[in-house]
Chains A and B, each alone.
Chain A
């Protein structure tokens, strides 16, 4: 019977089915990837929700970390986020402004961009080594919030620079030229026109970079993180506990892994909650600003 089917139609049949099969496969892959996220998040929420209580969030670990809460680690992580922001935000934004507003095209800009990309690609553990050698040993800060913040700040620098650059790149040159034509200086143009216009997207990027900092473990292993430091740090030269390191410690070592398990789930949940919060906030801001720009 086969030879009765005209050739083009048979080809069409094959074409249609290969397309269907391919698309089905891709849809399936996407479904698997989405399911992976749902499984990971769902698992952590399901297992961790039981551990979360007011005491868990406000008490220090006790009994050799087999009971109690995560308060010092939570505070430590927030301090490190703040500290790294103080380092990375001003420097990164300035660097981004330079790349987009001052640097003329040429080998220097290309070089700087390659260097920024390279810095972004350097593994976080190398930052940890570097922070230990420079801040902890050479400058003598010791294991401290200061050393940890500086290390994390440098780590998030490329992200901040790229965010700023991309935000400023999308601002039409007409605005710059308009401002300059009105007699404003370059600095005035940047301050009064460019930055306010780029701010929404810059802020969104900064929030996302804070999220990244909150989960980083490797850079603070040797620059800041304390295994157990239940009192709150009193100065920037104190070490501190941090959520990601705490999770690593209680899930891999300790006196009683069995008893630590629920605490580990709880800590993981808090970490994930911070990331979720940061992402939701960034998305909400993005949408809000998009809306606002459209209104204008």
Chain B
């Protein structure tokens, strides 16, 4: 009986030991099952077609071209491989401009036939209308609809998930935004992180250490939304004034806040590594006549370099995944950043800002899960990198 209980408890402990692995598997599974659906979506909104005149040779358009056409950024068919001539974009809402209410009839009864005729007689038209609306015998051609391709997402330079007729899910601006803001954050945090950890581990007296440690712990404990709030009411207006920016919400504001948030991680890991440098090595260096500073940068830092690297990489991980603070201070413009003083948008901020408005199961919803997958793998790579660094130093 007692033996049985022991066995039972042991197996329960074993299962709970595997729990984190199970959770990670579940996370991967659910993110993929929701996110992979994006590749099954078609480039044109479901239920709709893009109809063109029979004489128009163009049958294929990329989502980016479709968006440009309907934004009137693309105005000539020659630009998309057709015969030169003006592009006339047509949406269902435009029907009122072309036809009178009497012509359209009650409930838009005649709209389908009228639009079909319009397409038949306008060579440059491209009409975005529900497929069922057009009469089947109309002499018109259609732009080919296909599923969203891999490269349109991973190499796409525009993120307009709610655009019609063709939403754009290019994640390049979000990925570059994330890396850009994290890069600057680490750039700011690195000297401070190393400086403070050297100070804590090598220079400070026990009393200063007792004072400084809780400070670092508290910096780590402050919620990201409080950092975001502080950034919003202090750093953003300050930057706006100092740099004379039109808006203070910028990559720089995000980087500063992220630098403060990444500091405790860097300090904790780097200090720990320096602290573990054997006393004998320090004493040998000092005995050879080296000063304390020479000992630090010739002996302690080289000895603990892998720990320092782990700390910095973990700091990058923290910066890449940070959501709320970045969401609140970076201005969230989904453009590929060219300057740190411009607003930009990161992957986590995009998910947080848009998931609430994306209907469950739709392409937009799935695209946000895909972003989650990308984020997951970025941080996974970072963690495995840290693992590799620290296991290398152990051996």
The yes or no answer to B294 lying at the interface (CB within 8 A) is: yes
Q: Are B196 and A26 in contact (CB under 8 A)?
A: yes
Do A19 and B221 have beta carbons less than 8 Å apart? Answer: no
Interface core residue of A18, A34, A161 (most chain B CB under 10 Å): A34
Q: Are A247 and B226 in contact (CB under 8 A)?
A: yes
- Given A112-B18, A161-B20, A187-B9, A123:B199 Cβ within 8 A: no
Contact with A along B368-392 (1 / 0, CB 8 A): 1100100110011011101100000
Determine the chain A residues whose CB is within 8 A of the CB of B233 once the complex forms. 251, 261
Inter-subunit contact B217/A279 (CB<8 Å): yes
- Flag if B383 contacts A244 (CB, 8 Å): no
- B351 close to chain A: CB less than 8 A: yes
C-alpha spacing A112/B13, complex, angstroms: 13
Of the listed residues A27, A116, A123, A217, the one surrounded by the most CB atoms of chain B closer than 10 A to its CB is A123
Minimum CB–CB distance for B70 against chain A, Å: 29
List the A residue with the shortest CB-CB distance to B211.
Answer: A34
Contacts of A16 in B (CB 8 A): 291
Q: Is A180 an interface residue (CB 8 A)?
A: no
Partner of B223, one of A37, A216, A251: A216
| Chain A residues whose CB sits within 8 angstroms of the CB of B297 once the complex forms | 22
Residue of A nearest to B33 (CB): A133
For A121, the chain B residues whose CB sits under 8 A away are 314, 317, 321, 379-380, 382-383
Q: Is A252 in contact with B232, judged by CB distance below 8 angstroms?
A: yes
- Per the bound structure, the CA–CA distance linking A124 and B320 in Å amounts to 11
Q: Are A29's CB and B225's CB within 8 A? A: no
**Which of B22-30, B129-137, B142-150 lies at the interface?**
B22-30
Q: Which residues on B sit within 8 Å (CB–CB) of A192?
A: none
Contact A137 B360 (CB under 8 A): yes
With A29-B195, A117-B387, A126-B375 in contact, do A95 and B19 touch (Cβ < 8 Å)? yes
Min C-beta distance of A28 to chain B, whole Å: 8
Q: Kindly list chain B residues whose C-beta atoms are within 8 Å of the C-beta of A248.
A: 225, 228-229, 324, 328
Please, how many residues of chain B have a CB less than 8 angstroms from a CB on the other chain?
86
Contacts of A212 in B (CB 8 A): 221
> Within the complex, which residue of B20, B317, B372 is in contact with A126, where a contact is CB–CB below 8 Å?
B372
Which residue of chain A lies nearest to B228 when distances are taken between CB atoms in the complex?
A248
Whether B223 and A271, one on each chain, are in contact in the complex, defined by CB atoms closer than 8 angstroms, is yes
A270 smallest CB distance to B (angstroms): 10
- Give every chain A residue within 8 A of B199 (Cβ-Cβ): 23, 26-27, 29-30
Which of B196, B204, B214, B314 is packed against the most chain A CB atoms within 10 Å? B196
Report how far A247 CA is from B222 CA in the complex, Å. 13
The minimal Cβ–Cβ distance linking A276 to chain B, given in whole angstroms, is 7
Q: Which residues of B contact A216 (CB under 8 A)?
A: 223
Q: Do A111 and B21 form a contact, CB below 8 Å, given A29-B191, A33-B263, A98-B16? A: yes
In the assembled complex, the CB of A190 is this many whole angstroms from the nearest CB of chain B, namely: 9
Interface contact A102-B17, CB-CB below 8 Å: yes
| Interface: B344 (CB within 8 A) | no
A217 with B224, Cβ < 8 A, contacts A36-B260, A268-B229 known: yes
Structural contact, B34 and A133, CB atoms closer than 8 A: yes
Known contacts A30-B195, A134-B30, A251-B229; decide if A279 and B218 are in contact (CB<8 Å): yes
Q: Given that A118-B383, A161-B20 are known contacts, is A29 also in contact with B228, CB under 8 Å in the complex?
A: no
| In the complex, chain A residues 1-46 whose Cβ is within 8 Å of any chain B Cβ | 15-16, 18-19, 22-23, 25-30, 32-34, 36-37, 40-41, 43-44
Chain B residues with CB under 8 A of A275: 218, 221-223
The reply to whether B225 and A247 form a contact with Cβ atoms under 8 Å apart is: yes
Closest partner residue, chain A, to B349 (CB atom): A125
Chain A contacts for B203, CB-based, 8 A = 23, 26-27
Whether B14 contacts A102 by the Cβ 8 Å rule is yes
Is A264 part of the binding interface, using a Cβ–Cβ cutoff of 8 Å?
Answer: yes
CA distance A109 to B317 in the complex (A): 24
Would you call B225 and A187 a contact (CB within 8 A)? no
A94 interface contact, C-beta 8 A: yes
**Shortest distance between the CB of B275 and any CB in chain A (Å):** 15
B31 within 8 A of A: yes
Tell me whether A185 and B6 are in contact in the complex, defined as CB-CB below 8 angstroms, given that A221-B355, A279-B214 are known contacts.
yes
A66 touches B (CB below 8 Å):
no
Q: Which residues of B contact A141 (CB under 8 A)?
A: none
What residues of chain B lie closer than 8 Å to A116, measured between beta carbons?
A: 20
Decide yes or no whether B198 CB sits under 8 A from chain A: yes
Interface status of B98 (Cβ within 8 A of chain A):
no
Answer whether A95 and B226 are a contact pair too, CB < 8 Å, given A34-B215, A134-B26: no
Residue B12 at the chain A interface, CB threshold 8 Å = yes
Within B308-322, the residues touching A (CB, 8 Å) are 314, 317, 320-322
Are the CB atoms of A129 and B226 closer together than 8 Å?
no
7 closest A-B pairs by beta carbon, nearest first, are A215-B223, A123-B321, A29-B195, A98-B17, A19-B293, A94-B16, A98-B13
Contact sample, A vs B, 20 pairs, CB 8 Å cutoff: A15-B293, A23-B199, A23-B293, A30-B195, A30-B199, A30-B212, A91-B19, A112-B20, A117-B387, A118-B24, A119-B20, A126-B31, A208-B221, A216-B223, A221-B355, A251-B232, A268-B229, A271-B225, A272-B226, A278-B221
B residues contacting A by CB (< 8 A) are 2, 5-6, 9-10, 12-14, 16-21, 23-24, 26-27, 30-31, 33-34, 191-192, 195-196, 198-200, 203-204, 211-212, 214-219, 221-230, 232-234, 260, 263, 291-294, 296-297, 314, 317, 320-324, 328, 348, 351-352, 355-356, 360, 368-369, 372, 375-376, 379-380, 382-384, 386-387
Known: A121-B383, A248-B324. 20 other contacts (CB 8 A): A15-B291, A25-B195, A33-B219, A91-B16, A112-B18, A115-B20, A121-B314, A122-B376, A126-B31, A128-B355, A129-B368, A129-B372, A130-B26, A187-B5, A215-B221, A217-B223, A244-B226, A251-B229, A268-B229, A278-B221
